[in-house]
Structure 1
Amino acid sequence: MEELRFKTTLKCGGCEEKVTPGLNAINEVEEWDVDLDSDDKVLSVTATKDVSAQIIEAVEKVGFEITKID
């Protein structure tokens, strides 16, 4: 299992709704959550393998910035 974390520009529940279809479409993603209360709006993803590129693509596709946190 991979625990992936990303800094994003998501700001609210509406933003979260926009990224939901793209993230849910990635088969390897088991679960994900966005901490909208944190300064970096951290997206945490649990996946069966490292699908960082697909996650970044899904979030950028709907107009948000995203950067992987190592």
Structure 2
Amino acid sequence: MKTQKFKTNIACGNCLAKVTPLLDAEPKINSWSVDLQSEDRILTVESEEITADEVFKTVLKAGFIAKPA
């Protein structure tokens, strides 16, 4: 299992609610979480296969940015 971390602009619970269906629907993601307490709002993704670009595009569909941390 590979762990990737991304800085995001997912700032609150409502933001999280917008991105959750997209991340949950991505079959390559085994698990994910966003640390809303962190200043950088770190998204952690556990996956064997997904690329950083695929994570970026998935998060972007919800209107947010995810840059490798």
User: Would you call these one fold, judging by a TM-score over 0.5?
Assistant: yes
Distance 1:53 1:21 in 2: 18
User: How far 1:51 sits from its partner (Å)?
Assistant: 2.6
Question: Which residue pairs with 1:4 in the alignment?
Answer: 4
Give the 3 Å change call, closer, same or farther, for CA 25–51 of structure 1 in structure 2: farther
What is the CA RMSD across the aligned residues, in angstroms?
1.1
Contact 1:8 1:40 (C-alpha < 8 Å) held by counterparts? yes
**TM-score between the two structures when normalised by the length of structure 1:** 0.88
Deviation at 1:18, TM superposition (A): 0.5
Structure 1 unaligned residues grouped into runs of 5+: none
- Tell me if structure 1 keeps the 8 A contact 2:29–2:50: no
Equivalence for 2:68: 68
Moved more, 34-43 or 59-68: 59-68
* Corresponding position of 2:28: 28
Seq. identity, % = 36
* Higher normalized strand content (fraction of residues): 1
Any idea what the Cα deviations from partners look like across 1:22-62, whole Å, max 9, x if unmatched?
11121111110000000100000101223322211111112
Q: SS in structure 1 opposite 2:30?
A: strand
- TM-score normalised to the size of structure 2? 0.89
Structure 2: segments with no counterpart, 5+ residues: none
